[in-house]
Amino acid sequence: MFMGEYQHNIDAKGRLIIPAKFRQDLGNKFVVTRGMDGCLFGYPMTEWQKIQGKIDDLPVNKKDARYFTRFFFSAATECEFDKQGRINIPNVLRQYAKIEKKCVIVGVSNRFEVWSDTRWSDFSEDAEKNFNEIAENMMDF
- 134 φψ region: left (φ > 0), alpha (ψ -120 to 50), beta (else): alpha
CATH code of the domain covering residue 103:
3.40.1550.20
CA atoms within 13 A on the CB side of 139: 6
pLDDT (tens digit per residue) in 71-117:
999 999 999 999 999 999 999 999 999 999 999 999 999 999 999 99
Q: Is the pTM of this model over 0.95?
A: no
Number of domains observed in the structure of the chain: 1
Query: In this predicted structure, what is the pLDDT of residue 13?
Result: 96
Q: Which H or E run contains 69?
A: helix 63-74
Question: Which residues form the domain of 24?
Answer: 2-139
